Structure 1
């Protein structure tokens, strides 16, 4: 692999490394000698964290391309699409890619949560068309940009949580006559969401949408965006297999010595009724917290880490049981982070799963954390998820076979990024390009410390906060001041412990997501398709991506740091609920 693009050290880690594979599992990996910087149709200069300017050009390695052709562009042309979750991170990138590479697609109906069509149009204009993400398209079309976009994009007021998707009967009927492909990107991605809320969106939402799909006369494909972490507490090499109704991770983990009566039986209807009964039986003042607790409890009973992945898995089960003769594709991306190539490197919306840790570490607020440095964090750039989804749509839309196909879009099996390397690369970035504190002086950070137990981490962070707050200062004799500092310390420690609990399942994760189906999909692409719709995760140089693309690429850096500083430094009682929720929501697999 070429290492010229990595400014901080001599990069020698092979992409064929299989270190930290659980239990000695042998995993076939993709070998590559491909140089990294490969920004599709993007030719400009970027400045690295060290101030070095380098050229960014298209440099796709065509030797790794596969078969003749899927026929992606020809399939997409003229087709009409319905996209749910249209104002989300992934859907926006999907829309941009489609319109930029295949401008002669038909209509793209966007299901937008809004009270009426006017409100949906307003959200389309303010939350989609005005984004930096669409600047490339705007440059392509010039003055006709807005008219082009409004001609292609049809905002529809609706909600997957409501009967008939919240659409009025006339609109629903018209869409059912025209749509060729349905793309379900709607989800509630908060890891510890209320159980009833998560069930309604992540479990019942897909089934409602599939019910509508059966009314669509021209439909050739139903694509559902899930998450690789629906695999719950599975370990080792995890295959791309669909879930069947009632299937649980707990049952898979049972041994011959496990008493049959101790294996929990999953009944999705019963789970929905359980949440409904709880809502009716407790006071409204405590129902939210009780629902959160119930979701986490039920998830762990059946072998999932949290409410989000559990309810997404049940959504997959319903799709498989209800699909009938509709061709269904399930895309399971891992942790989606900023784009690596297009339409511009480093584009991201909001704060995603890894960012709160990276940014608070760079700010000097998180010198240590709970986790196994040898564990692998499965990260995938946004544009690769989009490209893999588009390729799958074309392949199975053309085949039109009444089957269900699953694709893992992740890096852990072919190009693993360890948690240690994630923070080492982040440390390199913040060392060369340090953030500043409130006194406008550079913040110096040390190598991240890792703790293998919650008790050890809580003790460490408690001592750190005590030192920073002044509690260790023996010259402070005012008992009231020391009392206030102690209260503040406890609140901050509570926040960090809560953060650690949310991340804990993923900081010790022992699974790797096999991507054999995704590799086969890529092998069927032509050279031109590989150039325009490539998603070779094995080609990613993680050090370069983190140092020169992901961290410096986010325009939200200062805003995120401000939120994190506020939550972890200001006592909890002064932290508005909305601000706290924005951080917790960031600790999710946002789409």
Structure 2
């Protein structure tokens, strides 16, 4: 078996019925609480919610119905996506192994596809379905949203700010609702520095804006006052006023401009923060949990190591570096990059949901799920681990030649970084796969390749700069206390202790092989 395949064999799993019974020796009682409960989950064709659904089906097979909101115009289309993108997904292969021939029947007996969209009023769900769903749903989990840093402002607001409000309005109609859980991001804290506490955001509390703008170059004008609903109106007006060819780029620039005005890195983090503010404003007496994960990457252990979906935050850098297209980067090697595996986030979601569901306390509880405090990883070490992996298991180009990499050059100044890039380009660097000097380095094709690769490197560096120089650590005291309240059995079944992560194993031996297999779709049977 080749080196990349070793970490992808399905683990020897206990059968679903043999998972430890919750509450047997104290603890929260996670599985016991979830038994028979009805859940409504959004974002299920995306990465995190898909891992969540898999874990629920495997660890709590006696759960009641799980309604899954799927972006589709009709129920038949939603059912098709459920089958094709969830039930037939490789992520669920361990469940298929457990249930054998009855796997599909089991999944269809639990998962109920619901056609709709979180950005639509009443979620775009047929009225007759709304009545039946709201009669019995106990738990709502919102994992839908846009994670694109530079998304159009109107679209990012619709998904990350208005969407949670639409779902909360839906939750107000659920007679049995015990908890509303919303997945945000630690970076919704904007440019806050130092030890960042697990505190909720309030719509009229502008402390976060003051903290984010503290120390920045700013005019003597008064502190800007954030009007969330005014931002929504602003984006809507711009979208209507602009002509089609100009709309996309202009709305991207508007989002970036508004985010920076109030002290956020980009449109994504700004709209996620405003989504939390709107949840606080309209939650009423609903018990709310806000889970703020850091950079979510490949699974650590469950259902098997390394599974990932989509080209996520650090993964474009991983792939570009491995293919020889990225030889330098703009970053401070001493910056802590906060990474957390998806399965740990999912386990924290389940533990926090049940904890809040049992107490039924009105209010908001915030949990940071990340590693920057408990198990910090420096950017310099991260890039070193990239080299460790690709130095021993390099990519091959289209002609099956090894793509050799060298340790990446890190620059903490823009001038030094840009000067290096220009020298590299003039010397024939930044060549795409297969474009070596023997193929006419001064030809028009090679020149075009160099130019495009150079621009892409600059774009990636500019996009990631707020994170590669980030000066904050995300306090996880609430998450630590949540873990302490679990029984020993629960700590095994619903594990999310980030201190257990060995970065020197996880990054080169689990995460990067997962990216190569599931994102780059590399043929592992053709490895050296």
What TM-score results when the alignment is normalised by the length of structure 2? 0.90
Q: SS in structure 2 opposite 1:450?
A: strand
Aligned to 1:116: 74
Q: Please say if residues 470 and 485 of structure 1, whose CA atoms lie closer than 8 Å, have aligned partners that are also in contact.
A: no
Which of residues 474, 484, 499 is equivalent to 1:513? 474
- In the superposition, relative to structure 1, how do residues 254 and 366 fare at CA in structure 2: closer, same or farther (>3 Å)? closer
How many Å apart are 1:197 and its aligned residue? 0.3
**2:234 matches 1:274:** yes
Instruction: After TM superposition, list the pairs within 5 Å mapping 1:314-329 onto structure 2.
Output: 314-329=274-289
Q: Please say if residues 120 and 155 of structure 1, whose CA atoms lie closer than 8 Å, have aligned partners that are also in contact.
A: yes
d(CA) in 2 for partners of 1:235, 1:461: 30
**2:139 matches 1:181:** yes
Aligned to 2:451: 490
Which of residues 173, 183, 187 is equivalent to 1:225? 183
**2:315 matches 1:351:** no
Q: Please say if residues 347 and 496 of structure 2, whose CA atoms lie closer than 8 Å, have aligned partners that are also in contact.
A: yes
How many Å apart are 1:489 and its aligned residue? 3.7
d(CA) in 2 for partners of 1:374, 1:94: 33
Aligned to 2:345: 385
Q: What do residues 115-135 of structure 1 show as CA deviations (whole Å, max 9, x unaligned)?
A: 100000000000001111111
**2:43 matches 1:85:** yes
Q: What do residues 462-486 of structure 1 show as CA deviations (whole Å, max 9, x unaligned)?
A: 3223322799xxx99x9xx667765
Aligned to 1:238: 196
List gaps (5 residues or longer) in structure 2.
14-24, 432-436, 524-528
Instruction: After TM superposition, list the pairs within 5 Å mapping 1:467-478 onto structure 2.
Output: 467-468=427-428
Aligned to 2:390: 430
d(CA) in 2 for partners of 1:304, 1:129: 38
Q: Please say if residues 228 and 333 of structure 1, whose CA atoms lie closer than 8 Å, have aligned partners that are also in contact.
A: yes
**2:137 matches 1:161:** no
Alignment: residue pair count: 504
Q: SS in structure 2 opposite 1:468?
A: coil
Q: SS in structure 2 opposite 1:178?
A: coil
- In the superposition, relative to structure 1, how do residues 194 and 140 fare at CA in structure 2: closer, same or farther (>3 Å)? same
Q: Please say if residues 48 and 548 of structure 1, whose CA atoms lie closer than 8 Å, have aligned partners that are also in contact.
A: no
How many Å apart are 1:432 and its aligned residue? 1.5
Aligned to 1:288: 248
Q: What do residues 440-476 of structure 1 show as CA deviations (whole Å, max 9, x unaligned)?
A: 23222211111122332222223223322799xxx99
Instruction: After TM superposition, list the pairs within 5 Å mapping 1:25-424 onto structure 2.
Output: 68-248=26-206, 249-253=208-212, 261-424=221-384
d(CA) in 1 for partners of 2:519, 2:160: 32
Instruction: After TM superposition, list the pairs within 5 Å mapping 1:485-564 onto structure 2.
Output: 488-554=449-515, 556=517, 559=520
Q: Please say if residues 247 and 266 of structure 1, whose CA atoms lie closer than 8 Å, have aligned partners that are also in contact.
A: no
d(CA) in 2 for partners of 1:503, 1:261: 29
Q: Compare 350-359 and 95-104 and name the one that shifted more.
A: 350-359
Q: Compare 303-312 and 539-548 and name the one that shifted more.
A: 539-548
How many Å apart are 1:361 and its aligned residue? 1.1
d(CA) in 2 for partners of 1:56, 1:141: 15
d(CA) in 1 for partners of 2:519, 2:399: 15
Q: What do residues 227-246 of structure 1 show as CA deviations (whole Å, max 9, x unaligned)?
A: 11101101111100000104
d(CA) in 2 for partners of 1:303, 1:285: 29
d(CA) in 2 for partners of 1:498, 1:285: 22
How many Å apart are 1:47 and its aligned residue? 6.8
Q: What do residues 487-512 of structure 1 show as CA deviations (whole Å, max 9, x unaligned)?
A: 55433322221111111111111111
How many Å apart are 1:351 and its aligned residue? 1.8
- In the superposition, relative to structure 1, how do residues 328 and 134 fare at CA in structure 2: closer, same or farther (>3 Å)? same
- In the superposition, relative to structure 1, how do residues 51 and 431 fare at CA in structure 2: closer, same or farther (>3 Å)? farther
Q: SS in structure 2 opposite 1:82?
A: strand
Q: What do residues 334-372 of structure 1 show as CA deviations (whole Å, max 9, x unaligned)?
A: 000011111011111122111111121122211111111
- In the superposition, relative to structure 1, how do residues 50 and 267 fare at CA in structure 2: closer, same or farther (>3 Å)? closer
Q: Compare 255-264 and 148-157 and name the one that shifted more.
A: 255-264
Aligned to 1:464: 424
d(CA) in 2 for partners of 1:363, 1:259: 44
d(CA) in 2 for partners of 1:287, 1:412: 38
- In the superposition, relative to structure 1, how do residues 246 and 457 fare at CA in structure 2: closer, same or farther (>3 Å)? farther
Across the aligned residues of Structure 1 and Structure 2, the Cα RMSD in angstroms comes to 2.8
Aligned to 1:584: none
Q: SS in structure 1 opposite 2:427?
A: helix
d(CA) in 1 for partners of 2:116, 2:140: 15
List gaps (5 residues or longer) in structure 1.
1-45, 59-66, 563-591
What TM-score results when the alignment is normalised by the length of structure 1? 0.81
- In the superposition, relative to structure 1, how do residues 142 and 81 fare at CA in structure 2: closer, same or farther (>3 Å)? same
Q: Please say if residues 466 and 489 of structure 1, whose CA atoms lie closer than 8 Å, have aligned partners that are also in contact.
A: no
d(CA) in 1 for partners of 2:295, 2:331: 17
d(CA) in 2 for partners of 1:545, 1:362: 17
- In the superposition, relative to structure 1, how do residues 240 and 219 fare at CA in structure 2: closer, same or farther (>3 Å)? same
d(CA) in 1 for partners of 2:520, 2:499: 32
